[in-house]
Structure 1
Amino acid sequence: MKNELIIKIVSVVVFLVLSVGVIIYANTDRPKYTITESSGVEYETARVLSVLEDNTTIDADVENVKKGSAELEVEILTGRYKGDVCKVTNYFSALYNVDVSKGDTVSVRIDTSDVNEYTISIYNYNRIPLTIGLVVVFFGVLLLLGGKQGLKAFIGLVYTVVAIIFVLLPLTLKGVSPIPLTIGIVFVTSAVCFLLIGGIQKKTIAAALGSLAGVLIAAFLGAIAAKVGGVTTFQMDEAEALLLVKSTNPIQLRGLFISGILIAAMGAVMDIAMSISSAISEVHEANSKLGFKDLFAAGMNIGRDAMGTMANTLVLAYVGGALNMMVLIYSYGVSFTQLINTDFVAIELIRAIAGSVGIIGTVPCVAAISASLMSREK
Structure 2
Amino acid sequence: MRKELIIKIVSVLVFMALSIGVVIYANTDRPRYTITENSGTEYETARVLSVIEDNTVVDKTVENQKKGSTELKIKILTGRYKSDVCTVTNYYSSLYNVDVKKGDTVSVRIDTSAEHTYSVSIYNYNRIPLTIGLVIVFFAVLLLMGGKQGLKAFVGLLYTVLAIFFVLLPLIYKGFPAIPVTIAIIFVTSAVCFLLIGGICKKTTSAALGSLAGVLIAAILGTVSAKLGGVTTFQMDEAEALLLMKSTSAVKLSGLFISGILIAAMGAVMDIAMTISSAIEEIHLANNKAGFKELFRSGMNIGKDAMGTMANTLILAYAGGALNMMLLIYSYGVSFIQLVNTDFVAIEIIRAIAGSVGIIGTVPCVAAVGAYLYSNHYLKKK
Shared fold (TM-score, shorter chain, > 0.5) = yes
- Name the residue aligned to 2:150: 150
How far the C-alpha of 1:307 sits from its partner, in A, is 1.1
Query: Where in structure 2 are the equivalents of 1:87-126 lying within 5 Å?
Result: 87-126=87-126
Give the Å deviation of 1:7: 1.3
1:376 CA displacement: 1.2
Alpha-carbon distance in structure 2 between the residues aligned to 1:354 and 1:134: 31
1:206 aligns with 2:203: no
- Which residue in 2 is equivalent to 1:139? 139
Q: Deviations over 1:47-84 (max 9, x none)?
A: 00000000000001100000000000000000000000
Shift in Å, 1:8: 1.0
Mapped pair 1:263 → 2:266 = no
1:85 is the counterpart of 2:85: yes
Task: Tell me the alpha carbon deviations over residues 329-354 of structure 1, each in whole angstroms, 9 at most, x when there is no partner.
Answer: 11110001110100000000000000
The answer on 1:299 being equivalent to 2:329 is no
The CA distance in 1 between the partners of 2:184 and 2:220, in whole Å, is 15
Distance in 2 between residues matched to 1:101 and 1:2, nearest whole Å: 63
Moved more, 15-24 or 206-215: 15-24
- More displaced stretch, 14-23 vs 192-201: 14-23
**Aligned residue number for residue 234 of structure 2:** 234
Partner amino acid for 2:322?
A
The amino acid across from 2:282 in the alignment is E
Shift of 1:13: 1.1
- The answer for the alignment partner of 1:56 in structure 2 is 56
Q: Which amino acid aligns with 2:7?
A: I
Structure 2 match to 1:9: 9
- DSSP-derived class of the 1:376 partner: helix
Q: Which residue of 2 aligns with 1:224?
A: 224
Aligned residue for 1:73?
A: 73
Deviation at 1:6, TM superposition (A): 1.4
1:164 is aligned to 164
Please report how far the alpha carbon of residue 5 of structure 1 lies from its aligned counterpart in structure 2 after TM superposition: 1.3
CA distance in structure 2 between the partners assigned to 1:308 and 1:275 by the alignment:
14
Q: 2: distance between equivalents of 1:156 and 1:149?
A: 10
- The CA deviation string for residues 108-130 of structure 1, in whole angstroms up to 9 with x for no partner, is 00000011100000000000000
SS in 2 for 1:36: coil
The CA deviation at 1:148 is 0.2
The CA deviation at 1:361 is 0.3
- Give secondary structure in 2 for the equivalent of 1:329: helix
The two structures have a TM-score, normalised by structure 1, of 0.99
CA distance in 2, matches of 1:94, 1:105: 22
SS in 2 for 1:248: coil
Amino acid at match of 2:68: G
State the partner residue of 1:35: 35
- Identity percentage over the alignment? 78
Alignment partner, residue 175 of structure 2: 175
Aligned position for 2:320 = 320
**Cα separation, 2, equivalents of 1:20 and 1:148:** 26
How far apart are 1:32 and its partner, in Å?
A: 0.3
Provide the C-alpha distance between the structure 1 equivalents of 2:360 and 2:144, rounded to a whole number of angstroms: 32
Secondary structure at 1:38's aligned position in 2? Answer: coil
Matched residue of 2:36: which SS? coil
- Equivalent residue number for residue 46 of structure 1: 46
What amino acid is aligned across from residue 297 of structure 1 in structure 2? R
Residue type of the alignment partner of 1:122: I
In 2: Cα distance, 1:192 partner to 1:330 partner: 43
- SS in structure 1 at match of 2:376: coil
Quote the Cα distance in structure 1 between the aligned partners of 2:15 and 2:88: 51
Provide the secondary structure at the position in 2 that maps to 1:270: helix
Structure 2 letter corresponding to 1:373: L
Q: Any idea what the Cα deviations from partners look like across 1:113-151, whole Å, max 9, x if unmatched?
A: 011100000000000000000000000000010000000
Output the TM-score relative to the length of structure 2: 0.98
**How far, CA to CA, are the matches of 1:208 and 1:92 in structure 2?**
51
The residue type paired with residue 153 of structure 2 is A
What is the Cα deviation at residue 162 of structure 1? 0.4
Residue 10 of structure 1, CA deviation? 1.2
Please name the residue that 2:361 is paired with.
361
Structure 2 distance, partners of 1:343, 1:322, is: 13
Q: What CA deviation, in whole Å up to 9, does each residue of 1:16-55 have, x standing for no partner?
A: 1111110010000000000000100000000000000000
Alignment RMSD: 0.5
Check if 1:188 corresponds to 2:188. yes
- Structure 1: runs of 5 or more not aligned: none
Residue type at the aligned position of 1:325: M
- Partner Cα separation in structure 2 for residue 46 and residue 222 of structure 1: 45
Distance 2:27 2:351 in 1: 29
Measured against aligned partners, the alpha-carbon deviations of 1:220-278 in whole angstroms (never above 9, x if no partner) come to: 00000000000000000000000000000011101000000100000000000000000
Moved over 6 A (4+): none
Distance 1:10 1:51 in 2: 61
Match of 1:284 in 2: 284
Question: Distance in 1 between the 2:342 and 2:156 partners?
Answer: 38
